[in-house]
Amino acid sequence: GDSVTQMEGPVTLSEEAFLTINCTYTATGYPSLFWYVQYPGEGLQLLLKATKADDKGSNKGFEATYRKETTSFHLEKGSVQVSDSAVYFCARSNDYKLSFGAGTTVTVRA
Partner 1 sequence: NAGVMQNPRHLVRRRGQEARLRCSPMKGHSHVYWYRQLPEEGLKFMVYLQKENIIDESGMPKERFSAEFPKEGPSILRIQQVVRGDSAAYFCASSTSGTEVEQYFGPGTRLTVT
Classify burial at 2, counting beta carbons within 10 Å of its beta carbon; exposed 0-12, middle 13-18, buried 19 or more.
middle
Span from 16-24, 43-51, 53-61, 64-72 in contact with partner 1 (CB under 8 A): 43-51
Binding-site residue total for partner 1 (CB under 8 A)? 23
61 contacts 16 by C-beta, under 8 angstroms: no
Residue 45 interacts with partner 1 (CB under 8 A): yes or no: yes
**Among 40, 43, 69, 110, interactor with partner 1 by CB under 8 A:** 43
64-83 footprint of partner 1 as x/- string (CB under 8 A): --------------------
76 contacts 84 by C-beta, under 8 angstroms: no
Interacting residues with partner 1 (CB under 8 A): 4, 32, 36, 41-46, 49, 51, 89, 91, 93, 95-103
